[in-house]
Each structure stands twice: as structure tokens, then as C-alpha cells.
């Protein structure tokens, strides 16, 4: 091995942070290194958005060429920038721990509207050159104006400060690694299960020549095999679509140690201005997931869909499916009516298990003594924010019992208030061992809302047990219908009546859309 080893890297502030991180880690293991800065095609061409640049590897090719010509010994890359087909003669010898894979919105404080998705004001000008980010953002917020934004992270943030954009959308990992001061912006971070990141986002790839066996062995001190297992699923999805980092493909895989299950959420568009097809899959065998996802995305066939809720003007679910020729109709089969309460007992936490609970609670203008807030899922948390409050706990499981166990562990001996519907199942409360710490507060009731006729849609989406009950009070479910249940409680309500359903993977519109795309697939 050469002494010191030469590490090839781009010259941006983030690339140098990444290379110096590898350098210091290797030097701690007794391997001296120095850096060599290499300019790439992506550095030299700043006037084009990514989807307009030809070829693949425009942030990595020159660095790989320096490695192959023995100018350097190690290359450090943002893994998401690498082509999925390895360069002949080179190997990824190690991958780093994964920094937060999520995206973040940086929003000028004068452009914030907390009542809207991602807190972007109506018609906000958002900067990004990623086709994947553009496609997904338009699915959530068709009113925003997208404007190309290139440059390293400090340059992009500088353009935001100059007022060229109302907000920018970038990877969380980069600003976290640079410890950038963002105090003059509103920061919004979508869940990576909802706004899907690029394959391998947040991971560093350490690349060497295949022939350097001694170096490969020494570099294992940097390697995280558990990270490799999940990002390999993500990268294989991109590979099967034959795409590079400019293709509008997102993939995010996870491993659940308790169940031994791998899961992946993926989305793909043909172009930046086409809304994505989204799919969820899970298996104990990570090798089958990528191909399963790609087959499903390629074989989606439009159908009629009926959902047991009213269609909203900004409905991600309806807009995304309609963009792919699904015929989407909907009507809530229940009506809600508020129930007045007189006073609120002292509490440390307030837990909301539905959007309606939030609305009917705050419509009565309760006097609060600075409690902390918790919500069963993202949709409920978004409704809470419209009333000026943030949830410190947001459930991520479609099994409300699991959410209850997680919240009970966090709340401990705290006093918890549960605004709820009359006759609520109380799935979360039942997970508390100290029942004396719990107070239920009925703030609304549900009433049946009949349909004038049974929908003839091939896919039926039930959003709550009450909607199941209301439907079955009027009609049977056709034996040919494909049934989707939002969460375990809804699935159990159907099961008790003899119906088998597909559960959504999340309590939000993206989970609903993934379920519909999944059951409509001809795979």
C-alpha cells in the first residue's frame, strides 16, 4: 500500500467533510492518508438541472478514473451519486453509518403557512433540481412553483437568503454534517416513509481497486454491513429501472429487528412533472424485495376506487391515482357531531387519536396549561398544527396497540388526557399500566351517513371501523372487490364480518395510495 494513502474527493464543503471523516477514521486505525481534490462534470456544469444532463455518474466518473489510473487509492462518494453498475476494476469496500435519510425544507419565515402541507405558503417558489423531489412535491402541493437550484449546500442556502426562492428542498444529511446555522429559516422535515428519499441517501461509499486486497481488509473498520443490507434493496430498485441519480425514483428500506422483516417504500415517475406510482413491500428475504417492487410498479392497471371519506381539493390520494387513470370517488359513511365539555382536568400530555378529536377539542377554545401533545399518526399531527401546536410524539405504526405501547413508555407516570369519540375503542389507553393517570374526554360522536347507492368500484378503501359498520348496515361487499383497510382496527372490523383486507402501511394518504397501487398490480 502507498504511504500515505491518497483519497480522491470533490472539492465542495460537504465532499471535503466526507473525505476528512474517512481520513480521520483511517488514521485512528493507524493508516495515514492525504486528500486529492478532483473536479467532476457535475461541478463544471452548473447551468443545467440534473434531468437535462446526459449520462450517469456526473459527480463520480472523474474520481473513479483517478482511482483506476493509480493517481489515488481511495474514493469517497455520496453513495446516492454512484451509478448502480460498478466501474470495471473497482469495488465499494465499505459503507458508512446512515445519516438521517430524510429531506428537509428550508423556508423563509415570511413564506411560512402552518395550515398548509410542509408549511409552504400558497404558490411558494421552491428550489430543487432533483426530478424525484419535484415529482413528489407536486403530488402533495400542485400549487407550488418549482425552480431549478444547483450548487453546493452553502451556495443553495445563500440563494435562499438572497430571496431568489421562498424555500429550498435538500437532503437533511448534508446540512447535519456541515452543522449549518439555519436559525433564520423555518425547518420542515417530512418522514422518509412519506416523502421518499433517493436510494442510499445519507450513506457514504468508500471505493477502491478490486486488486488491493490488503487495503480492502483494512477498510473494514469503516464498514456497516447492516446499512449495506438495506441500501442494497434501494440501489437494486434503481438498477432494475436502469436509472441514475437523475431518474425520478425514490426508495427507502428498513429492517425491523423484532420481527426480522425488511420493508421498502418506493416511488417512480417517468418525468419530473408526472405524479409518482408508489409501492410498499415487505419480506424476511431482502433479496426478493427489489424485483417485487419493480414488477408491481410496472404492472399497475387503473381501476375504479371508492374511499370512505369525502374527497378534498388538496387530496394527495385522489390526485395521485387520478393522474394514473384511476377513477376515484369517495364519501364518508359517517357524520361527526361535537359534544360540549365544561372543563379540562390538569394533564401533562394530550393524546389525539383522530383528526376529528383535534378539531372538536379546539373548536371549544379550551384553556390549556402548556401540555405536551401526541398524535396517533401524521394526518392527525397535521391537523393539530393547523391549531398552532406541534406533536412531540407521532405514531408510525398502523397497529394502534403498538403506538399505545410506544407512547405509554414515553409518557411514563405523566397524566394523559384523551379527547375522543363517544364509544371509542380505547386501544391506546389499554396499553397503560397505571389507569389512574388516564382521563378520557368525549368531544364528539359519530352518526351513520347512508349512501344513495352502492358504488360499483373494484377497489374499496375503508378508513375506520365506523365506516365499515355503516357500509355493512346498508350493503354487502361484492365478492370480486379488493378491500383495503386503513390500520389494524379497521382490518379487524372487516375480519369480524368475514372479509379479508389488505392493510395500509401507514395512517396517511401515501400509505393509502401505495395500497391501491399494490392491489391494482397485475403481478
The 3-class SS string of 281-306 reads EEECCHHHHHHHHHHHHHCECCCEEE
Nearest-angstrom CA–CA distance, 70 and 51: 32
Other Cβ atoms within 10 Å of 263 Cβ, number: 20
Same domain (yes/no): 341, 433: yes
Q: Which of 394, 414, 448 lies at the terminal end of a domain, its last residue?
A: 448
Backbone angles phi, psi at 61, to 5 degrees: -60, -45
CB 336 within 8 A of CB 423: no
Q: Can you read off the three cell numbers belonging to residue 276?
A: 409518482
Residue 277 domain-assigned (yes or no): no
Same domain (yes/no): 126, 86: no
Enumerate the H helices of 34-130 as residue ranges.
41-44, 61-68
If you ran DSSP here, which 8-state letter would residue 112 be given?
B
- Domain count of the fold of the chain: 4
Residue 487 domain-assigned (yes or no): yes
Backbone angles phi, psi at 271, to 5 degrees: -140, 165
pLDDT of residue 372: 97
Same domain (yes/no): 81, 205: yes
Q: Which of 386, 416, 448 lies at the terminal end of a domain, its last residue?
A: 448
Q: Can you read off the three cell numbers belonging to residue 162?
A: 438572497
Give the residue among 276, 266, 261 at the shortest CA–CA distance from 238.
Answer: 266
Residue 273 domain-assigned (yes or no): no
Q: Can you read off the three cell numbers belonging to residue 222?
A: 469503516
Residue 55 domain-assigned (yes or no): yes
Same domain (yes/no): 182, 58: no
Same domain (yes/no): 420, 365: yes
Give the residue numbers marked as catalytic.
Answer: 81
Residue 497: CATH number of its domain: 3.40.50.10090
Contacts of 269-273 with CB under 8 Å at 24 or more apart are: 269/131, 269/132, 269/135, 271/51, 271/131, 271/135, 272/51, 272/131, 272/134, 272/135, 272/146, 272/248, 273/134, 273/135, 273/138
Same domain (yes/no): 438, 493: no
Backbone angles phi, psi at 66, to 5 degrees: -65, -35
Which residues span the domain enclosing 457? Answer: 300-333+449-520
Q: For residue 46, give the 3-state DSSP assignment.
A: coil
Same domain (yes/no): 430, 456: no
Q: How, if at all, do strands 327-330 and 304-307 pair?
A: parallel
Give the residue among 233, 222, 195, 207 at the shortest CA–CA distance from 66.
Answer: 207
| Cis check: omega of the bond before 4, within 30 degrees of 0 | yes
Q: Which of 157, 188, 219 lies at the terminal end of a domain, its last residue?
A: 188
pLDDT of residue 44: 54
pLDDT of residue 63: 93
Give the residue among 63, 51, 65 at the shortest CA–CA distance from 9.
Answer: 63
pLDDT of residue 48: 47
Q: Can you read off the three cell numbers belonging to residue 445?
A: 360522536
pLDDT of residue 54: 43
pLDDT of residue 53: 43
Residue 257 domain-assigned (yes or no): no
Nearest-angstrom CA–CA distance, 162 and 180: 17
Give the residue among 114, 185, 118, 188 at the shortest CA–CA distance from 388.
Answer: 114
Residue 165: CATH number of its domain: 3.40.190.10
Q: For residue 201, give the 3-state DSSP assignment.
A: coil
Residue 403 domain-assigned (yes or no): yes
Residue 18 domain-assigned (yes or no): yes
Same domain (yes/no): 460, 479: yes
Other Cβ atoms within 10 Å of 353 Cβ, number: 27
5-9 sheet: strands from edge to edge? 33-37, 5-9, 74-78, 204-209, 90-95
Nearest-angstrom CA–CA distance, 5 and 259: 42
Provide the residue-wise pLDDT of the chain in tens; the chain has 523 residues: 888 999 999 999 999 999 999 999 999 999 999 999 998 776 655 544 555 444 455 678 899 999 999 999 999 999 998 988 889 999 999 999 999 999 999 999 999 999 899 999 999 999 999 999 999 999 999 999 999 998 889 999 999 999 999 999 999 999 999 998 999 999 999 999 999 999 999 999 999 999 999 999 999 999 999 999 999 999 999 999 986 657 899 999 999 998 999 999 999 999 999 999 999 999 999 999 999 999 999 999 999 999 999 998 788 999 999 999 999 999 999 999 999 998 899 999 999 999 999 999 999 999 999 999 999 998 899 999 999 999 999 998 888 999 999 999 999 999 999 999 999 889 999 999 988 999 999 999 999 999 989 999 999 999 999 999 999 999 999 999 999 999 999 999 999 999 999 999 998 999 999 999 999 987 6
Same domain (yes/no): 11, 41: yes
Q: Using alpha carbons only, how large is the chain's radius of gyration in Å?
A: 25
Same domain (yes/no): 68, 107: no
Map 440-506 to HEC letters.
EEEEEEEEECCCCCCCCCCEEEECCHHHHHHHHCCCCCCCCCEEEECCHHHHHHHHHCCCCCEECCC
Backbone angles phi, psi at 42, to 5 degrees: -65, -30
Same domain (yes/no): 353, 437: yes
Residue 241 domain-assigned (yes or no): no
Phi-psi bin for 30: left (phi > 0), alpha (psi -120 to 50), beta?
A: left
- Which are the contacts of 375, defined by CB distance < 8 A and separation ≥ 6? 351, 352, 358, 381, 384, 391, 393, 394, 395
Element (H, E) at 519: helix 509-520
Same domain (yes/no): 92, 212: yes
Amino acid at each position: 500500500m502507498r504511504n500515505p494513502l491518497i483519497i480522491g474527493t470533490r472539492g465542495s464543503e460537504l465532499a471535503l467533510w466526507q473525505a476528512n471523516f474517512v481520513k480521520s477514521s483511517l488514521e485512528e486505525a493507524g493508516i495515514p492518508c492525504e486528500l486529492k481534490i478532483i473536479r467532476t462534470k457535475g461541478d463544471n456544469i452548473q447551468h443545467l438541472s440534473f434531468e437535462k444532463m446526459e449520462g450517469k455518474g456526473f459527480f463520480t466518473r472523474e474520481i473513479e478514473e483517478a482511482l483506476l489510473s493509480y493517481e489515488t487509492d481511495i474514493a469517497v462518494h455520496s453513495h446516492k451519486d454512484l451509478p448502480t453498475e460498478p466501474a470495471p476494476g473497482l469495488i465499494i469496500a465499505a459503507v458508512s453509518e446512515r445519516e438521517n435519510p430524510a429531506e428537509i425544507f428550508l423556508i423563509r419565515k415570511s413564506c411560512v403557512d402552518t395550515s398548509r402541507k410542509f408549511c409552504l405558503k400558497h404558490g411558494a417558489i421552491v428550489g430543487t433540481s432533483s426530478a424525484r423531489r419535484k415529482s413528489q412535491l407536486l403530488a402533495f402541493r400542485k400549487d407550488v412553483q418549482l425552480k431549478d437550484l444547483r450548487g453546493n449546500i452553502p451556495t443553495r442556502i445563500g440563494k435562499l437568503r438572497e430571496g431568489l426562492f421562498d424555500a429550498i428542498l435538500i437532503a437533511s444529511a448534508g446540512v447535519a454534517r456541515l452543522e449549518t446555522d439555519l436559525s433564520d429559516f423555518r425547518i420542515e422535515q417530512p418522514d422518509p416513509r412519506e416523502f421518499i428519499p433517493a436510494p442510499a441517501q445519507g450513506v457514504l461509499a468508500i471505493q477502491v481497486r478490486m486488486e488491493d486486497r490488503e487495503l480492502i481488509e483494512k477498510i473494514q473498520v469503516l464498514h456497516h454491513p447492516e446499512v449495506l443490507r438495506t441500501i442494497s434493496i434501494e440501489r437494486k430498485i434503481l438498477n432494475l429501472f436502469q436509472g441514475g441519480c437523475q431518474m425520478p425514483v425514490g426508495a427507502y428500506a428498513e429492517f425491523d429487528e423484532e420481527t426480522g422483516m425488511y420493508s421498502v417504500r418506493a416511488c417512480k415517475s417517468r418525468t419530473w412533472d408526472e405524479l409518482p406510482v408508489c409501492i410498499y413491500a415487505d419480506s424476511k428475504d431482502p433479496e426478493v424485495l427489489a424485483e417485487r417492487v419493480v414488477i408491481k410498479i410496472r404492472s399497475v392497471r387503473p381501476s375504479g376506487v371508492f374511499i370512505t371519506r369525502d374527497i378534498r381539493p388538496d387530496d394527495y390520494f385522489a390526485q395521485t391515482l387520478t393522474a394514473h387513470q384511476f377513477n376515484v370517488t369517495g364519501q364518508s359513511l359517517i357524520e361527526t357531531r361535537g359534544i360540549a365539555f365544561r372543563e379540562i382536568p390538569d394533564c401533562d400530555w394530550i393524546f389525539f387519536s383522530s383528526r376529528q378529536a383535534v378539531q372538536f377539542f379546539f373548536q371549544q377554545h379550551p384553556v390549556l396549561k402548556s401540555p405536551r401533545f401526541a398524535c396517533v399518526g401524521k394526518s392527525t399531527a397535521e391537523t393539530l398544527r393547523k391549531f398552532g401546536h406541534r406533536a412531540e410524539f407521532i405514531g408510525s405504526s398502523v397497529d394502534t396497540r403498538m403506538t399505545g405501547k410506544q407512547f405509554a413508555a414515553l409518557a411514563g407516570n405523566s397524566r394523559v388526557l384523551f379527547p375522543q369519540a363517544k364509544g371509542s375503542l380505547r386501544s391506546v389507553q389499554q396499553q397503560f399500566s397505571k389507569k389512574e393517570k388516564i382521563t378520557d374526554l368525549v368531544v364528539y360522536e359519530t352518526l351513520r351517513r347512508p349512501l344513495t347507492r352502492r358504488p360499483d368500484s373494484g377497489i374499496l378503501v375503508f378508513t375506520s371501523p365506523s365506516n365499515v359498520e355503516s357500509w355493512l348496515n346498508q350493503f354487502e361487499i361484492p365478492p370480486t372487490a379488493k378491500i383495503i383497510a386503513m390500520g389494524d382496527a379497521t382490518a379487524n372490523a372487516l375480519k369480524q364480518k368475514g372479509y379479508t383486507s389488505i392493510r395500509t402501511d401507514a395512517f396517511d394518504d401515501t400509505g393509502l395510495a401505495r395500497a391501491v397501487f399494490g392491489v391494482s398490480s397485475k403481478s
